[in-house]
Each structure stands twice: as C-alpha cells, then as structure tokens.
Amino acid sequence: MPLDQLWATWRSLYVTGDPETRRALPGQHPRPADSDGNSGSLFERILNCGAPDSETFVLHRGAGCFVILNRFPYTSGHLMVLPNRAVADLEQLEQAEFAELWSLVRAGVSALKSTLNCDGVNVGINLGRAAGGSQTDHLHVHCVPRWVGDANFMAVVGGSQVMPVALEDVWQALRPCFTDLDAPPASGQSAPEATFDT
C-alpha cells in the first residue's frame, strides 16, 4: 500500500537549515559554539543553548528540573519533564530533584487536562535502550495527552499521524500554566509545589 504524504512544513528548518547555524530545537542535535563550553546531553544542550524558550519549547525552568514540549510528539501537547542535569536512572537523582520532577509531572498532567481538555494522559519513562529509550543518557518523563477515539484510521490503517495543533500554538496555550512556578526558590527553600485549577 502506498504511503500518503502529510505536509508538516514547520519541520523544514530541520531539513533545509544550515547545521552549523540552526537553533537548538528539541529532537535536533544543536551545535553550540565551541567557545561557550556548551556540551553535554541533547537535553542539556537544548536547555543551555541560549535560544528563547518559545523557540526551544521550554515551558518551565525550575531549580533542578524543566518541562519541554517534545519536538516530535506522539500527539499534540506531548510534553516531557526532565532533570536539568543528565542522569540515566531515577536512582541517580538527588531527593530534591526527584521531588521536583514528580511535582512537575503532576503540574504537566494538570496543565494538559485543563488547557487541552484531554480525556486522559499517558505518563511514562523508558529507562535504558532495552526499555525503548532513544536518549538514554538523560532520563525524561513523557506526558502524552489522549482523547477518546484518538487512534483514528490515519494511524491504524494509513500508517500516518495527524497533528491537529502546531507546536507553537501548544506552547502558547500551556506556557501560562507554568508561570507561577517560574520564581526560583529562596536559598534553603525547596521548589514550589505545582498546583493548577482543574
């Protein structure tokens, strides 16, 4: 059966962009200037690349963790929660990072439910290549919004996936849900608890 094409022109920068000068975007391998010392995992490079959050789709930067939209989502609104530093396993997280990670997962789920009106959310982590992880050096928790009937004929029969909302629009919709969390905690205090009205 021939595969039909669905045009996703927002990915054109990835295909046509100069790899030496293109911005670091989630899902791409950013090439930071050698002089700035910006190295590390893919996600560390994205977090520290200097591009505006609206271009990298970072929704929140916390004391030890951050929230970002997946550049190549399973569905519109697919976000990830990660520690700021690259660790491969949950056991490597400090207690404060662990608490902040799961607080932000809860905040992300709440934001997806209240903003995108999804019927459910898949939350998961792939730890190690055998578990399906593609970026195994930097653990990340996937939060994938789901709607009743969202596995439509395009995915099941057509082998294609339709993204109904552009990443830029999803970022604009979800970003306000994280503004209350943006103030860094005072010295000696833990990160603020994530809360949202649902």
Question: Which residues form the catalytic set?
Answer: 140
The rounded distance, in Å, linking the Cα atoms of 51 and 47 is: 9
The rounded distance, in Å, linking the Cα atoms of 27 and 186 is: 33
The rounded distance, in Å, linking the Cα atoms of 87 and 62 is: 16
User: Which pair of structure tokens corresponds to residue 141?
Assistant: 């928790």
The rounded distance, in Å, linking the Cα atoms of 174 and 112 is: 7
The rounded distance, in Å, linking the Cα atoms of 171 and 69 is: 7
The rounded distance, in Å, linking the Cα atoms of 87 and 4 is: 39
